[in-house]
Structure 1
């Protein structure tokens, strides 16, 4: 069986819109998940549990799990063809 991959050329505008669309899609999925069941997520270095009625409770402190990201690049650059 062979896999089919397509090459989609996107412009700078489309590339700039991808993070915004991803945030919007994640927010929508999170709201739908909260409406149908209990959700556990990280917020302000705390592990939070949110019930269907909207009540939030802190489950665990995650501040020790965070690592400084100083070594990561600040700006991502597109490759020039």
Structure 2
């Protein structure tokens, strides 16, 4: 069995839209999940539980689990891939 992979060439605009589309898709999925069942998520360094009726309850304090992001790189860069021609 061979795996099929496709190369999609996207421009700068499409690359810039990926994070925005991901946020939109996550928000939509979160709203649908909240409408159908109980959801547990992190908000303002607190573990929160949201019931179907929209009531939020703090479950646990997560402030000790957060790490300072000062040492992380500010700009992420993609490595350029070179396709060899034979």
**TM-score over 0.5 (shorter chain):** yes
- Superposed CA RMSD: 1.2
Question: 1:69 offset after TM fit, Å?
Answer: 1.3
Q: Across the two proteins, how many residue pairs are aligned to each other?
A: 81
CA distance in 2, matches of 1:78, 1:58: 38
* Pair 1:59-2:63 in alignment: no
Q: Scaled by the length of structure 2, what TM-score is found?
A: 0.89
Larger radius of gyration: 2
CA distance in 1, matches of 2:40, 2:79: 38
Stretch moving more, 44-53 or 63-72: 63-72
Q: Scaled by the length of structure 1, what TM-score is found?
A: 0.94
**SS, match of residue 77 in structure 2:** coil
Question: 1:59 offset after TM fit, Å?
Answer: 0.1
The 4+ residue runs of structure 1 with deviation greater than 6 A are: none
**Structure 2 runs not aligned, ≥5 long:** 82-86
**Structure 1 runs not aligned, ≥5 long:** none
Question: 1:78 offset after TM fit, Å?
Answer: 4.2
**SS, match of residue 69 in structure 1:** coil
